[in-house]
Amino acid sequence: MPQISYLDRDWNVDKGSLEVTEKQLKPDEFVITAVLPQKMGKPLYAFTGMTYEELKPLIKKNHWLREMISAGQQVKLYFDIDKTAKSLDEIKERILVAFPDANMHVSGRLGNWHITLSNYYADCVTQMAGVKAFAVANADAQFDTCIYHHHRAMKIINQTKPEVGSQPQKWVDGSKDATKHLILHNFDRKKTNINTMGFSKYVNLAAKVKKESRKTEGKTNLAELPDVKLPLPEDFELPHAPPLERLFMLPCKHLTHNTRWAVMTWCKIVGISFEQFWKWNQDAGNAMGRLTRYTQYWDKENDYFIKDATIVAMLKWFYPDVEIPKSTLILRRQFDLSRVVNGQHEIFNEQYLKAEYIQNAKGKFNFLLSGMGSNKTGSVVDYSGSLPEGSRVLWVAPRITLAQNTAQRLRDAGMNFALYMSFTKKQKLDGALDRRQYVICSIQSLHYLSKEFDCIVFDELETTLDTFMGDCVTHKKNLFSNWEKMKILCSRARKVLCMDAFTTQKSTNLASAILQMTEMGDEPINLINTETPLARQKMLEHPTFDDWFQNILLDLESGKKIYIYASCKKGTKGVAAIEQALITRFNWEYGRHIISYFAEKDEEKRNLTAVNELWSNPDLRCVVTNGCISVGVNFHKKEIFDCVHAFYATYIPPRDFFQALARIRHPKDTTISLYRSELRAYGDYELADLDCNIFKQLQRDLDIERRANGNHKKWETFNLFAEMGGFDIYPSKAKVLSEDLRTEIQKMLADADIFFDFENIPNITWEDVEELEMKILSGRASALNKLSLEKFYWKMNFIDEADFDELKEVWSSNINLPARLRALEEEEVPIMKRLLEENKLTVDDFGEGLPDTMHTSIPLTDIQKFFNFAKAPETYRTDLVAKMLNAYFQCEVYRRSNKRKQKDGKRDYVYETNNSFMTAANTVLHFLKRKEPEGTVPSILDMEYDSEDADE
């Protein structure tokens, strides 16, 4: 047997040295292990025999020593706690409950402790099943359950691991005599043999913990990961990322040992080498001991199969933005004007802009970036009026309504702007606009201008530039001349003022390119904003169009004056249909009580120049419009309208939608009633082709937003504009959001080998609910935010005295079960109510067992519609009720039994209730809140069942 000399004694090394050392032991000797560091390679494990007296002086300093716990030796009770968030006092309290008056001796460091009990002992380590059961029952506090076996090496006080930088096992509490911290030596004179104690309580608890752990064996508990939100790299695309790229995106330092083990197993499956895995894994520590352990883990075969979806779930946990489509993320970066290379940021500690901010800004291009309603137009009007006598000003608008409305506003301010529409085509061709000092013109009519301007104002510049998107159809044959005229006029003007609450880099890129055409290529672009934002507005989202429209009726019936934005003009949800429904319902007269606007209503649109007087009429109760009013019409009078209702459809650019909401500047109630509908996606179109690099760059920038506008699976781009515009979205019905959350959570559980431990999810209060609801609907919530809110909703299904130690199993196995049972109890689901009545059942029968045969006479088409079956059942087969119940509870509830029974001279199938479902249902029903108190979250599935032939 090879030996080394260490501490003036011989130590056995190499394979089999422990067994050899045990055979060589003299009386009163124990096996001591030294785990010695080496300059190269793995640590060296050495073994020797040593008496207690020989050991005592050695443990005062670090010699990398371990006690070897072997069968047949009397041992103190000992515990090893690793990486716990519990305090030492809490750990000690738990131990004292099981072991009263325990003399505890603690070594280690914060959250990592070795604890020995010098007045409790076992005759042999193999007789510590009760102590192990106690550790298993307290696994939530990170008690190690794997240290109670023959040939277990335990680190001694003052010793360290062999890795460089390893911390010593320092004294923390208890006796300062180091030998009291040993497991095999220096027992108290008065001590208790644990064989005289009863551990049935902990054995039962341990059995329950083991049962739960078997259910989650091989699965990753994402809820134990830290709630850390990391920035998503610009070049990372999850759907196209190869395994190695996904691996290095995972933040190794933030993972637990179990999750790193799962990642290692996945790496082996997808073909990542150990060297590549270790390069990633060493971020959590590159000590030789870790390398040794993970080499052993890698070489050891295991039966677990870690799905790609599990790794994806981990990535989503740390990178919530990874679910956002790339085009929306690119658009978000377009909004980040801190990336503008030559940008000069001027931020003023005000809510509203002033003309002096523009006057003091040096440079040609000046962007006014403050939010909607922050006096951008007012400050520009004041600035224009302060220009030197004779200065020419051009005001460029993207649409006719904006040009008309702004012309009136400028005239009211004493500036006689010539509106381009006031002239005939012949007059404009003859230079009528060039002879006027102040001109307001649409972007499509710039080709009529020849003379230079001192100041050019772009009102809603981003919307103006949108006219150059795609085939530029609104410019018709004048595309080239309008484009060239815009560049030339801007390059020669002294000041160019650009207003838009949703300014992106497509505007600043254009400004930079135009500056490069002049001698001022390196001149900074002024980005003017206010430091004090306007108050954020609340949007209350309704789950259906009918629910949204019902809210309109309630407001009108209570005497309110309202403004309605509807995305479409025709159809059952369009402006015309809403207008007619309200006229019929309230017996209104069009033009007096209600006015509507869309493209063909020319007379109504012409009157928009006097919108403040027109809409202030006390007889007018309702204005309904679509996108024909999005910019330019500003109703400034305060508290005339009571509230705003808005219906958004996906074929409307989110930019236009939010611009439209700003037309009513000061309603009494700033909360907007919202309904969102996925009616139609964006199609492709041909791009206009101009031989101009600046134009091509603009088209590329425009295409970023066009592509992003098509992302509405989770309203990603809509939510981005809401965030930029200062809107927070809340649910009108919490139960709908809860149902959506449960669906999302169940999909994650079904797709990946993961679970969310109930205890790891933070508890929240009513004060937290509204903020989390807003975060979720606005797309800003982390996975843990969603789980915390759903846990809150979920617990609301139960009575105050509910035992969640029992119920938490249901959370992991069937998160939908409590709400579904409660909906049956409250008779909220008519089709299920009828099914139960037909079979003379109550909700309690789900916990006690259903009969072996059940029937229904509900129309088959109604069954298909309610349960969303691919096709209607053709007959009332014996398995129909089973399909209905399984679809309702989204798990196996009722299944065919192996038994059959005689019926009408033939043997027929019988059914049985799934035992695990019945057990879970029984637990839920025991604690279920049977009658809903006022003010709590209502049950789900507020679904209508109304069939003309239901009773046939």
User: What does the pLDDT look like over 259-271, one tens digit per residue?
Assistant: 999 999 999 888 8
Task: Report the C-alpha dihedral over residues 736, 738, 743, 745, rounded to 10 degrees.
Answer: 160
- Token pair of 901 as six digits: 């029974």
Q: Cα torsion at 352, 355, 357, 361 (round to 10°)?
A: 150
Distance (Å, rounded) from C-alpha 284 to C-alpha 161? 16
E strands, 650-695, are 672-677
CA 268, 269, 273: angle at the middle one, nearest 5? 30
Are 334-530 and 537-725 equal in CATH topology?
yes
Average pLDDT, stretch 832-859?
93
Q: Is the pLDDT of residue 226 over 80?
A: yes
Q: What is the pLDDT of residue 440?
A: 94
Please say if the pLDDT value at position 914 is more than 80. yes
Q: Which of 359, 636, 372 minimizes the C-alpha distance to 503?
A: 372
Q: Which residues pair with 358 in a beta bridge?
A: none
Q: Where are the domains of the chain?
A: 3-214, 221-324, 334-530, 537-725, 817-927
The pLDDT tens digits of the residues spanning 797-827 come to: 999 888 888 888 888 888 889 999 999 988 8
pLDDT over threshold 50, residue 125:
yes
Average pLDDT over the chain reads: 87
Assigned CATH for 537-725: 3.40.50.300
* Stretch 48-56: mean pLDDT: 96
pLDDT of amino acid 426: 94
pLDDT at residue 595, rounded to an integer: 94
Using an 8 Å Cβ cutoff, are 367 and 413 in contact?
no
| Neighbouring-strand partners of residue 635 | 664
Q: Does residue 940 have a pLDDT over 70?
A: no
Q: Which CATH superfamily is domain 334-530 in?
A: P-loop containing nucleotide triphosphate hydrolases (3.40.50.300)
Instruction: With cut-offs at 50, 70 and 90, classify the pLDDT of residue 204.
Output: low
> How many Cβ atoms sit within 10 Å of the Cβ of residue 361?
21
CA distance 164 to 190: 41
Sign of the C-alpha dihedral computed for residues 649, 652, 657 and 660 taken in this order: negative
State the pLDDT at residue 203: 58
* pLDDT value of position 275: 94
Measured in whole angstroms, the distance separating CA 452 from the mean position of its chain's CA atoms is: 52
Q: Which residues pair with 562 in a beta bridge?
A: 622, 643
Q: Average pLDDT in the 307-330 region?
A: 91
**749-788 pLDDT, tens digit each:** 777 778 788 888 989 998 899 889 988 888 888 889 999 9
pLDDT band at 643 (very low <50, low <70, confident <90, very high): very high
- pLDDT, residue 511, reads 94
What confidence category does residue 202 fall into, taking pLDDT thresholds of 50, 70 and 90? low
**412-423 pLDDT tens trace:** 878 889 999 899
Q: What is the pLDDT of residue 549?
A: 94
In contact, 763 and 787? CB cutoff 8 Å: no
Dihedral pair phi/psi, residue 124, rounded to 5°: -160, 150
Q: Is 36 helix (H, G, I), strand (E, B) or coil?
A: strand
Percent of the chain exceeding pLDDT 90 equals 51
User: What is the C-alpha to C-alpha distance for residues 185 and 54, in angstroms, rounded to an integer?
Assistant: 12
- pLDDT tens string 280-308: 999 988 877 788 888 988 988 777 788 88
Name the token pair of 648.
């958004």
On whether the CB atoms of residues 344 and 485 are closer than 8 A, the answer is no
The residue with tokens 């137009």 is 377
Distance of CA 950 to the CA centre of its chain: 42
% pLDDT > 70, the chain: 93
Tokens of 417: 């702007």
Nearest alpha carbon to residue 716 among 229, 299, 438, 331: 331
Which of 445, 453, 395 has the alpha carbon at shortest distance from 425? 445
Burial of 519 (0-12, 13-18, 19+ CB in 10 A): exposed
Report whether 208 contacts 202 (CB < 8 A): no
Taking the complete model, does pTM exceed 0.75, yes or no?
Answer: no
* Overall average pLDDT of the 592-611 stretch: 83
Report the alpha-carbon distance of residue 268 to residue 277 in Å, rounded: 9
Segment 609-622 shows an average pLDDT of 90
- For residue 3 the two structure tokens come to 């030996």
Q: What is the pLDDT of residue 735?
A: 74
Section 231-240 average pLDDT: 90
Query: Distance between CA atoms of 297 and 300, rounded to whole angstroms?
Result: 5
DSSP bridge partners of 173: 106
> In this predicted model, what pLDDT tens digit does every residue of 359-407 receive, in sequence order?
888 889 999 988 887 888 889 989 988 899 999 999 998 877 778 778 8
Task: Say whether pLDDT at 153 is over 90.
Answer: yes
Placement of tokens 């507020």 in the chain: 942
Task: Show the tokens assigned to 538.
Answer: 């609340």
Q: Distance (Å, rounded) from C-alpha 203 to C-alpha 587?
A: 75
- Rg over alpha carbons for the chain, rounded to the nearest Å, is 37
Alpha carbon 710 to its chain centroid, in Å, reads 20
Q: Between vectors from CA 409 to CA 407 and to CA 413, what angle results, nearest 5°?
A: 110
CA 740 – CA 786 distance, rounded (Å):
10
